[in-house]
Amino acid sequence: MGKTVYDLILDALDSLSADQLERFKHKLSARQEIGYGLIEKVSNMAVTQRIINKFTKKDAIAHTATVLREIDLRDQAEDLEEAYARQGASSVAGMGDTGGRASDPSFTQTEVPARAQSAVSAAAGRTDKQNQLEVTQRKSQQGIQEREKKLQDLRQAADSLTRSAQAAVEDSERIFTELIRSFERRRSEVKELIRDQGKAAVSQAERLIEQLEQEIAELRRRDAELEQLSHTEDHIHFLQSCQSVCDPPGPGDLPKITVNPHVSFEALRKQVSELKERLEDVCKGELVKISQTAEKVHILELRTRESFLQYSCQLTLDPNTANTLLHLSEGNRQLEFSCHS
């Protein structure tokens, strides 16, 4: 029994290597004769059937041989043409052309070669699966696009947050540096105040000490003169000197001053200590607020039950203002409606 056009073309394709077959499909598609998507991943039988369906019985062999030559497979092209010539063009064409036989009343589907029927069935099955595959692929591509968009948004948000965090760190560093400098100035001012006040008080005391020492020295000198005069035996000298020494121009009255033996800066030290405690309390309170604000910075907003519960609170109803048709229970937290008041 002679071979059909289908058998001859299929034999030619089966003789090709995987690389040669792939080149054949690309060239066939490049000639805009059969779309590459229709033959990319199908069997040689399906490719053969599509070639036969596309061209007439004579042209199927010619087109196949032409494509083989264009991919430098001249030997395979000549073998195909010689096999076609040996079989006899008319007999081979008639056996391989299902379109021509469709007009013959005696033609039945059983006359189509078994491999051709299998290829047609496979091609039809592939069409259905191809549609399903395209739907799945569209969903997959949509999922990829959505995730790529989400990925881009996350990266942009992360970059933005990183820049914002760096700016916040720099501002915090600057503000705390200024605050430290301000405290340094205040510390210097308090230190100078204490030193100046201490020096002024000590200087005042030293002037009074010097005055008192001079007065004491003068009084001692006078006391020595009086002591000496009291022991003189010359009555005339005693009488002459007594008037001058008994009523001398002395240092005057003692200044009315009160000396505080426990004078100190203890009260000031206490005030500085209290200032420190107040500042620490303020800093602690403000740092808690800053920490709470920082904890609210999130790139992802996870909407969970726990995230909503943080805003929950216990509600109670006022029985004095409730409608008379409403009855409260469960600690004034539940309502029951009644038609009878």
Segment-wise mean pLDDT, segments of 10 residues, the chain, 341 residues: 84 94 91 81 91 82 92 93 76 44 35 51 69 82 88 89 91 91 90 87 84 84 81 82 68 71 82 88 89 81 67 70 71 66 52
Burial of 252 (0-12, 13-18, 19+ CB in 10 A): exposed
Residue with token string 């805003």: 311
Burial of 9 (0-12, 13-18, 19+ CB in 10 A): buried
The CA distance from 32 to 26, in Å, is 10
Cα-only R_g, the chain: 59
Check residue 93 and give its pLDDT: 45
Dihedral of alpha carbons 196, 198, 201, 204, sign: negative
What phi, psi does 75 have (nearest 5°)? -60, -45
Q: Does pTM top 0.95 for this prediction?
A: no
Check residue 45 and give its pLDDT: 93
Check residue 12 and give its pLDDT: 93
**Phi/psi zone of residue 16: left (φ > 0), alpha (ψ -120 to 50 degrees), beta?**
beta
What phi, psi does 2 have (nearest 5°)? -75, 160
Check residue 100 and give its pLDDT: 37
Distant-in-sequence, close-in-space partners of 122: CB < 8 Å, separation ≥ 6: 42, 43, 45, 46
The CA distance from 261 to 242, in Å, is 40
Check residue 71 and give its pLDDT: 93
Check residue 74 and give its pLDDT: 94
Taking alpha carbons only, the member of 121, 117, 100, 120 closest to residue 109 is 117
